[in-house]
Structure 1
Amino acid sequence: MTCLFATCQAPIQAALRPAVWIPGIKKLHSRRERWIIKMATPQEAFDDAVKALTKLEDKEFDGKVISLSKTDKNRLFVQCYCFSKIQWLDVVEISFHDSGNGTTLAKVYCFSSGALPLIIPPPIPLILNLALFFLPYWDNHFTKMWLEIIRRNMDLEIVPEHMV
């Protein structure tokens, strides 16, 4: 379950995203993938992702929680917040595009939003995460794990490609 402090601070932290301000350092705690989704239009893929994320909102994975934060049906864009056990915030953003031949290309970006967890009372983690934006840290493969969980819960056939 997400704590109240994390729930309140997550939209601000996700919008500011201080952990990905520096190009070299952000690669330690972010992941980009392209998903080739066969036999589906971008709208069908978007709907499937929203359905999967809605289903995941009702589950907890060893204290980890996924929360659907934003959907844009016109842009075919989905954003969700992924909280670790101690409320570190990772953000997943997926946009769906037609790639022809009945397949859809999903551009997926998952990133850690800051070095400190949001379980700390506000505004302390927000201020310190902004001040410590240059601090390199490792995400312990959480970004990869979140994407795998989302993919496994979608009904459509997805071929992931990791991008550097």
Structure 2
Amino acid sequence: MSEPSCISSFQGPIQAWLRPGQWCFGVRAIRQGEERWACGCSRQQLVDGLEAVVASAQLNALANTRKVRMGKVKEDFSFVRIESYTASAEWLDVTEFHIESAGDGVSVRVKSFSSGFTPTCVPLAPLLSAVCFWVPFSDYGPQGSLNKLRIKEIREQLTKDGLVPSITVA
């Protein structure tokens, strides 16, 4: 299993929490994707499915990232953060799931975003990203927005592999 470097493992959660790549209102839209889901499962079943997707992403690239890990899971399964690092420079993209019970299933707000300008393998990356928060950069690759693609790939893998019975994009 490919893990981020030691320095990225330390700095990544700090940069994910600070998220300087999202501070500048005018340019943050080019660095993020968002969806709302209605899922026919429990909170725990969704979180278990996300953990399986992360484990699978170590073997198969997930939207141009090979170093993917569960960053944070709340005990009540109401919040999950997945950290996705690029293979070499270890730029960090974050995917967050805000999960609420809704009838027989759950309602989920999914947001994926680029955390900052500086790769997390660079010493003091969160500080440098904070200083460079205004620098415009995008998450676009040959297939379009990598953050939007990552959300789509996670959703498709959850349903394709039968980890979650149904997901409806609201």
The answer, yes or no, to whether TM exceeds 0.5 is: yes
User: Take 2:127 and 2:70, find their aligned partners in 1: how far apart are those partners?
Assistant: 25
1:82-101 aligned at under 5 Å gives the runs 82-85=84-87, 86-100=89-103
The one-letter code sitting in structure 2 at the alignment partner of 1:3 is S
Q: What is the TM-score normalised by the length of structure 2?
A: 0.81
User: Take 2:117 and 2:38, find their aligned partners in 1: how far apart are those partners?
Assistant: 32
Aligned twin of 1:131: 131
The one-letter code sitting in structure 2 at the alignment partner of 1:21 is W
Q: Deviations over 1:56-115 (max 9, x none)?
A: 364252662211111113152111100112211001110211232x23211111110101
Greater Cα offset, 144-153 or 107-116: 144-153
Native 8 Å contact 1:19 1:133 kept in 2: yes
SS at match of 1:64: strand
Q: How many residues are paired up?
A: 156
How much has 1:36 moved relative to structure 2?
1.7
Q: Deviations over 1:34-54 (max 9, x none)?
A: 11213x23333233223333x
1:7-156 aligned at under 5 Å gives the runs 7-38=9-40, 40-53=41-54, 55-56=55-56, 58-61=58-61, 64-85=66-87, 86-100=89-103, 102-120=104-122, 122-123=123-124, 125-140=125-140, 141-154=145-158, 155-156=163-164
SS at match of 1:114: coil
Q: What is the TM-score normalised by the length of structure 1?
A: 0.83
The one-letter code sitting in structure 2 at the alignment partner of 1:147 is I
Q: Which 5+ residue runs of structure 1 have no aligned equivalent? A: none
User: Take 1:137 and 1:127, find their aligned partners in 2: how far apart are those partners?
Assistant: 17
Percent of paired sites with the same residue? 25
Q: 1:108–1:63: structure 2 CA closer, same or farther, 3 Å change rule?
A: closer
The RMSD of aligned alpha carbons is 2.0
User: Take 2:134 and 2:26, find their aligned partners in 1: how far apart are those partners?
Assistant: 10
Could you list the structure 1 runs, at least 4 aligned residues long, displaced by more than 3 angstroms after superposition. Answer: none
User: Take 1:80 and 1:23, find their aligned partners in 2: how far apart are those partners?
Assistant: 23
The one-letter code sitting in structure 1 at the alignment partner of 2:157 is N
Q: 1:47–1:113: structure 2 CA closer, same or farther, 3 Å change rule?
A: same
Greater Cα offset, 10-19 or 62-71: 62-71
User: Take 2:95 and 2:116, find their aligned partners in 1: how far apart are those partners?
Assistant: 14
How much has 1:13 moved relative to structure 2?
0.7
